[in-house]
Structure 1
Amino acid sequence: MSKVYAKKGRWLQWGGGIAIVVALLLDLVGWMPMPFLERLEWQTYDTRVRATLSEEADPSLAIIDIDERSLYEVGQWPWPRTVVAELVEMLFETYDAGLLGVDIVFAEPEGRVLESYWETLVSDYPELEERSPPESGDAVLADTLANYPVVLGHYFQASAAVDDPPPVGALPSPVAVSEGDSLAVPEPERFTSNLPKLQQSAMGGGFFDNPRVDDDGVFRRVPLLQRWEGELYPSLPLAMLMAMIGGPTIDPQVGEGAGVAQLEALDVGGFKIPVDNQGAALVPWYGERGHFAYISAVDVINERVEPEALAGKTLILGASAPGLMDLRSTPVGSVFPGPEVNMTLLAGMLHQSFKAQPPWVAGAELVSLVLLGALMTFLYPRLSAPVLLAVSAGLLGMTLGGNLWAWQQGLVLPLASFAVLLVLQMLWHLALNFLRESQHKRWVAERFGQYVPPKLVDDMVDSGESLGLAGEERELTVLFSDVRGFTAFSESIPPAELTLVMNRLLTPLTGAIHAHDGTIDKYMGDAIMAFWGAPIHDAAHAEHALEGAFAMLEALEDINQIFTQEGKPALAMGVGLNTGPMSVGNMGSSFRMAYTVMGDNVNLGSRLEGLTKAYGVSVLVSESTAQQAPNWCFRKLDKVRVKGRSAPLWVLEPLGKWKALTQSQREWQAAFEQAVALYQAASLSEAQAAFNALEDQQDSPTQLYLQRIAYFQQTPPPADWDGVWTHVDK
């Protein structure tokens, strides 16, 4: 193809590759967000989570579950506070639990309900007037909480509507955070917490809402701190951890990301929790729903649990019953109980198994996208489609492998942007490769289709060679063929039929040449000129030319069978082959051009074809052709000077491929060449005896040599005779 077209195609590939990289960078910096990329990143994150879940659960952690069976046996929720108090008391007194977190809010006082019911009971049973109302369930629960290590839960509301009620209940004491004023944590607009008397009796409290749920509704990241009226409050798992280690001051760890100081982790009494700049941690998922031990609350109340089953354990009281609406969508399950989310976070804190996404990850992603994008943009246009696919697969494998390795080390690196970059770059360059190859094939077909067979055109395209019509010198093998006696043959048929006969003759001969990757140069009446090794390079051009020559002879035999059946005379053909440097290209005038070969070696091929009649053989080749066809067996016929050349050369007849010859044929070839050697050495008597000893006395070259020897016996050659026979005819 033209250099202009190739240059335009290269710029198009570069431009598209650069556009892909720029689009991804604009998404990364937030100037042109692409939501599908964010969702794809979520999906790749979830896939990595599910692929690396742990099989073992921490036996020191368990969930006291308000499940469907508990609601069936105890009654619908909310239960009387005295029942809850009984449950809490039994957990610590009967089962010796270590710590209890409560994933439930007791926001409404129970006392008002009891008082209204008491008045009704007194009116129905006057004897109750002398008795005081029963003790409030809230008071009972508050007294119980004061005796045990219990951390209550509450929830914040990120935004409040105009008609929403004011905050309900009392918040626990805030946590101490060094330099906490600078943290960009969520600041809700409302909260719902426990009754003041309950919260004051408890050991502490923490929120269990999540303002950082992703847009697809999936829990992946949960904030550990939220700010209310300037004070910082911990999440329920963080509050439980602080209760276990004595409520230390939280120390924020700040790192550098994109040249800006950003929150990187929270140090809680030596427990380091990786967080993002808003204080949210990636939930360290351990398993699917039920990974941690679930114990039905009603079994605890009815003492159906083994006494040692809960001894010293850290527990969370919560609900998995669907009707209580404490179910979440997570990467490990679309229906996941909220208490187990909090237990997972607490387990991650205790085992220090969080995944981290430090601030430098964004900068590393930007640099990596630029470098990888530049590599593909400028490398891919130089690759063929198969190599491009292989390189893309390798790069994708390296990206996935490196990402998974980082994941195993606790680092969450982005994956979606790199996967999209690789796929889009691959598809873009493959599409342009396909377009370029289509254009190239059309260009080749337009320029070479008139010279070479369609199969060779396809080979030329597939080879990826830079093809042109300008003249150049190459080593080629040229073939000349001529039908003997065709003039007399043509005189025996009507002139109107001659064109049809010529087509019937040349078509199968041309097919034989094309079948062996030859290029037709020209037709000269009944003669054909062809060559091998151009326009596409062919390292085995000599062998392919020989195969084509023998295929032409076989095709002629088939034609003769048809001609003889039609009453026409059979035809013979001579073929000459020569190998050597030749000038090949589009040659001619401004009126007409032809893709052809020229040079002295071309003329020699024509001379060899002319000599086939003199030696009575069908095919003659030069020594240079024979040297490049080691799989073929040749017999040296004669050392000659041809018209137009002063230097002598050997002419040889191909007998077939070595592997196809019998032992007797090989011995005959050796005996013939021995006889020729005696002749060349001027040992005429010995040569005559050697030729007479050959079994095939009807062999034309043998008869030719016997005639020469008989002549030289009558007229001896000069003393300096070199054994060369000079041909004066073309």
Structure 2
Amino acid sequence: MGSLFKHWPRIAVTLLPLVFVLLHASGVLKIGVLQRLDDIIYDGRLRVTMPRTLDDRVVIVDVDEKSLAEVGHWPWGRDKLANLTHELFARQKAAILGLDVLFAEADESSGLKSLQQLAQGELRDQPGFAERLSRLQAGLDYDALFAKALEKRPVVLGYYFTSDRDGRTKGVLPAPVMQREALQGRPIRFTSWNGYGANIEPLARAAPVAGFFNSITDGDGVVRSIPLIAEYDGQYYESLSLAMFRMLVGSPQVEPGFPKERFLSRTYQGLESILLKQGGKTLAIPVDDRVATLVPFRGSGGASGGSYRYISAADVLSGRLPEASLKDRIVLLGTTAPGLLDLRVTPVGETYPGVETHANVISGLLDGKIFVKPDYAVGFEVVTLVLAGLILAFTLPQLSAPRAVMLSAAVIAAQVGLNFWLYLGYGLVLPLASALLMALTAFALNMSYGYFVESRSKRELANLFGTYVPPELVDEMVKDPDSYSMKAANKELTVMFCDMRGFTKMSEQMEPTQLQELLNGVFSRLTDLIRANRGTIDKYMGDCVMAFWGAPVDTPNHAHLAVKTAMEMAQAVRKINEEHRAAGIPEIGIGIGLNTGTMCVGDMGSDIRRSYTVIGDSVNLGSRLEGLSKAYGVDIVVSESTRKLAPDFAWQELDKVRVKGKEQAVAIFWPMAPADRLDKEHAAELRTWAGALKSYRAQDWDPCDVQLLNLQRMNAKKYLYQLYSERVASMRLLPFDPGWDGATNFETK
């Protein structure tokens, strides 16, 4: 108790996020970001757990772009759809056909109506015209042909509901599946509409079973669920997928399934399930508070998604499909052609075929795998929030930072594990975002309070490091100050030497104060780039900058960051020169050398003055490489060790060199561009250069000359190709040297 009293301010601070999320869970204070985060969690969990396997029971006959190209623009004549229906049932032996398309207007494409008008008007007295038309009428009434094809066959028509100010209606609705009296006066939140677009009367009479194909679009524009039953004008109608499933299992009666008396749902007035009753057997389909089900997506969707077999409608209509290919299959006729506007944004794809959402629901119903947010979700959320919040509030203040991290991680892991277990094992979709945000915020507030109130000594330690280390990295070091030391140590780092050229000439033309201001401005811009890429400034030496990457904070990609910085610095100098030209100031040049290797890094110097710096042979080589940049006409020279650790760039090998003080030759390179931004012209230039360099090192001068000539045509301004042309001209005069390793010796620093 004494410990709890001591830490009561931290306990109170930690309880604050619990209060807010409980208000959200209970509906008193709706926090939109939590709902959005729950949607993101659900979408991610769905994508991770999708089976991504083919369900061979369901086939989608697709009015795709191929079909439109072969048969013609949509809508097709009903005579073609009659032929398609006959083909599916008579020759392909399909078990059931669901139509995710609408036939709200009569088909007059045959011209029958115009012929009838002629028979009653201009051609009324034409001998035999009326008699001939009477014989042709049966074949020209496409709606009648289609209706006859649908008659007495297991077909489910599709239609849609809509809501607008006028409540427009068109076509004939099917019979409702449930009456208001069955709901016992409960205020159930059915999805409700005031209008509809249904099929014309001849088709509705021939195929009396129909289902709406509306989906529910969430606030973020994503389709995650489909209402199984919806309300219109006090009557209750079934969806296309439910209607097809009921026809498959013998058309059982539909009844509401009310929740049982439970502690967490005693006052819940919604439906828990839809009951399908037939012959003394009952099948319960769970639904959420909108009498909807989440779509159990199997894969990414579409013909290439691998979840369902897609067959072009043109192939079916033309008879190219082998006989009985669809025997006992559930067939859905739908569209994926972009112009037909039946593509949806879903958690698994931004252009997901609407027809496949119904296929997913049918598969889920057949397998008994329907995911739903249960009626007791709010009670579950409140209980888990209170338990987790109290554990964190009363335990975190008494723990060290590492143990506090472990406890918070354990609480989060328990919540995530329980949530996933209920999802995978029982198909329950329960809120998780509020619990995660509460745990993370409680931990953050607790640690922040401890930092600002109880960790002054740590900040003093950070200030000591700040004497040596760039301020940008101090914040990272503060998090774990015990891991850092000023003691010298050998580490693999990347060092940079950057030399400004042209300042000698400028000093002859400018006043000292002007030159100082100019130099400071250039250094400031280059220093900002180094710091932005996590580099440590070692020192300024006249018009030279020295920096390194990888210490004091470990940076695994130190070579990549160093190369990236060097390229950005070269670009910055080009921009500076544009400003100089506009102002009439002489331009400056830049030379950068980069090397990666083992270096000694630490706090070094005398008792009077010390600094955090690097020393060693690898540092000396970096300095030598900077001096070579001018010799090869490039702004950046990089060693092979750095190049190997920075594969994300396109590299041009400049030469093999043996610098002063080194017996071993090293390959040097110039970064041409990020690898993913290399255009075709520069890629071709690199290939030609590789051939030239190979010929050069083989002392094969003729092909080398040809390739160098081609390179000069590709890039006439590049000094490197002129340099090698002059070398080849000189070396032609010498006899073949079998001991030559292709390296160039440099005796000066």
TM class by shorter chain equals: 0.5 to 0.7
1:201 and 1:441, CA in 2 relative to 1: closer, same or farther beyond 3 A?
Answer: closer
Per the alignment, residue 57 of structure 1 pairs with 54
C-alpha displacement of 1:332: 1.2
SS of match in other structure, 2:97: strand
8 Å Cα contact 1:106-1:193 kept in structure 2: yes
C-alpha displacement of 1:229: 2.3
For each residue in 1:463-510, what CA deviation from the matched residue of structure 2 results, as whole angstroms up to 9, or x when unmatched? 9xxxxxxxxxxxxxxxxxxxxxxxxxxxxxxxxxxxxxxxxxxxxxxx
Per the alignment, residue 284 of structure 1 pairs with 296
Letter matched to residue 260 of structure 1: T
1:360 aligns with 2:376: yes
8 Å Cα contact 1:89-1:144 kept in structure 2: yes
SS of match in other structure, 2:17: helix
SS of match in other structure, 2:30: coil
C-alpha displacement of 1:41: 0.2
Pairing 1:261-300 to 2, within 5 Å after superposition: 261=268, 262-269=270-277, 270-289=282-301, 290=305, 291-300=307-316
Per the alignment, residue 246 of structure 1 pairs with 250
SS of match in other structure, 1:414: coil
Pairing 1:365-380 to 2, within 5 Å after superposition: 365-380=381-396
For each residue in 1:334-379, what CA deviation from the matched residue of structure 2 results, as whole angstroms up to 9, or x when unmatched? 1111111001111111110112322222101101111211111121
SS of match in other structure, 2:419: helix
8 Å Cα contact 2:225-2:295 kept in structure 1: yes
1:88 aligns with 2:85: yes
Per the alignment, residue 68 of structure 2 pairs with 71
1:214 aligns with 2:231: no
C-alpha displacement of 1:308: 2.6
SS of match in other structure, 2:369: coil
SS of match in other structure, 1:260: coil
Aligned residues: percent identity?
Answer: 34
8 Å Cα contact 1:156-1:191 kept in structure 2: yes
Superposition RMSD on alpha carbons, in Å? 3.1
Per the alignment, residue 24 of structure 1 pairs with 21
Letter matched to residue 172 of structure 2: A
Partners in 2 of 1:251 and 1:129 — Cα distance? 54
Partners in 2 of 1:121 and 1:58 — Cα distance? 53
Per the alignment, residue 399 of structure 1 pairs with 415
Per the alignment, residue 259 of structure 1 pairs with 266
Runs (5+) with no aligned partner, structure 1:
446-457, 464-730
1:230 aligns with 2:234: yes
Per the alignment, residue 414 of structure 1 pairs with 431
1:203 and 1:312, CA in 2 relative to 1: closer, same or farther beyond 3 A?
Answer: farther
Partners in 2 of 1:253 and 1:114 — Cα distance? 51
8 Å Cα contact 2:228-2:293 kept in structure 1: yes
Partners in 2 of 1:442 and 1:7 — Cα distance? 26
Per the alignment, residue 103 of structure 2 pairs with 106
8 Å Cα contact 2:300-2:349 kept in structure 1: yes
For each residue in 1:202-245, what CA deviation from the matched residue of structure 2 results, as whole angstroms up to 9, or x when unmatched? 040000012x3210111112111112222211000111111122
1:442 and 1:417, CA in 2 relative to 1: closer, same or farther beyond 3 A?
Answer: closer
Letter matched to residue 173 of structure 1: A
> After alignment, is 168-177 or 128-137 more displaced?
128-137
What is the number of equivalent residue pairs in this alignment?
444
> After alignment, is 395-404 or 196-205 more displaced?
395-404
1:253 and 1:120, CA in 2 relative to 1: closer, same or farther beyond 3 A?
Answer: closer
8 Å Cα contact 1:266-1:274 kept in structure 2: yes
Partners in 2 of 1:74 and 1:443 — Cα distance? 79
Letter matched to residue 436 of structure 1: V
8 Å Cα contact 1:74-1:298 kept in structure 2: yes
C-alpha displacement of 1:114: 2.7
1:435 aligns with 2:452: yes
Partners in 2 of 1:385 and 1:429 — Cα distance? 10
SS of match in other structure, 2:436: helix
Letter matched to residue 33 of structure 1: K
1:131 aligns with 2:132: yes
8 Å Cα contact 2:110-2:142 kept in structure 1: no
Runs (5+) with no aligned partner, structure 2:
463-476, 483-749
> After alignment, is 33-42 or 385-394 more displaced?
385-394
Select the residue among 306, 320, 323 that pairs with 1:304: 320
Per the alignment, residue 175 of structure 1 pairs with 177
C-alpha displacement of 1:145: 0.9
SS of match in other structure, 1:294: strand
Q: TM-score, normalised by structure 2?
A: 0.56
8 Å Cα contact 1:180-1:232 kept in structure 2: no
Per the alignment, residue 610 of structure 2 pairs with none
For each residue in 1:405-447, what CA deviation from the matched residue of structure 2 results, as whole angstroms up to 9, or x when unmatched? 22211222221111111111111111112112334668999xx
1:305 and 1:271, CA in 2 relative to 1: closer, same or farther beyond 3 A?
Answer: farther
Who wins on radius of gyration, i.e. which is larger? 1
1:9 and 1:428, CA in 2 relative to 1: closer, same or farther beyond 3 A?
Answer: farther
For each residue in 1:3-49, what CA deviation from the matched residue of structure 2 results, as whole angstroms up to 9, or x when unmatched? x9x99983432222222111101111121111110000000001110
SS of match in other structure, 1:246: coil
Select the residue among 338, 341, 346 that pairs with 1:322: 338
Partners in 1 of 2:325 and 2:443 — Cα distance? 57
1:351 aligns with 2:367: yes
SS of match in other structure, 1:350: helix
Partners in 2 of 1:313 and 1:203 — Cα distance? 21
1:139 and 1:442, CA in 2 relative to 1: closer, same or farther beyond 3 A?
Answer: closer
SS of match in other structure, 1:12: helix
C-alpha displacement of 1:398: 2.1
SS of match in other structure, 1:108: coil
1:443 and 1:139, CA in 2 relative to 1: closer, same or farther beyond 3 A?
Answer: closer
8 Å Cα contact 1:64-1:297 kept in structure 2: yes
Partners in 2 of 1:441 and 1:334 — Cα distance? 49
Letter matched to residue 266 of structure 1: I
C-alpha displacement of 1:150: 0.7
1:302 and 1:10, CA in 2 relative to 1: closer, same or farther beyond 3 A?
Answer: same
Partners in 2 of 1:190 and 1:208 — Cα distance? 14
SS of match in other structure, 1:308: coil
Partners in 2 of 1:430 and 1:237 — Cα distance? 51
> After alignment, is 253-262 or 272-281 more displaced?
253-262
Per the alignment, residue 425 of structure 1 pairs with 442
SS of match in other structure, 2:170: coil
8 Å Cα contact 1:272-1:352 kept in structure 2: no
Partners in 2 of 1:172 and 1:387 — Cα distance? 63
8 Å Cα contact 2:381-2:431 kept in structure 1: yes
Pairing 1:257-656 to 2, within 5 Å after superposition: 257-261=264-268, 262-269=270-277, 270-289=282-301, 290=305, 291-409=307-425, 410-439=427-456
SS of match in other structure, 1:309: coil
Q: TM-score, normalised by structure 1?
A: 0.57
Partners in 2 of 1:354 and 1:282 — Cα distance? 7
C-alpha displacement of 1:112: 8.2
SS of match in other structure, 2:289: coil
Letter matched to residue 131 of structure 1: R
> After alignment, is 232-241 or 349-358 more displaced?
349-358
1:377 and 1:124, CA in 2 relative to 1: closer, same or farther beyond 3 A?
Answer: farther
1:36 and 1:184, CA in 2 relative to 1: closer, same or farther beyond 3 A?
Answer: closer
Per the alignment, residue 145 of structure 2 pairs with 140
Partners in 2 of 1:382 and 1:324 — Cα distance? 63
Partners in 1 of 2:123 and 2:310 — Cα distance? 43
Per the alignment, residue 566 of structure 2 pairs with none
8 Å Cα contact 1:203-1:243 kept in structure 2: no
Partners in 2 of 1:271 and 1:282 — Cα distance? 18
SS of match in other structure, 2:204: helix
8 Å Cα contact 1:153-1:193 kept in structure 2: yes
1:416 and 1:434, CA in 2 relative to 1: closer, same or farther beyond 3 A?
Answer: same
SS of match in other structure, 1:311: coil
Partners in 2 of 1:336 and 1:115 — Cα distance? 38
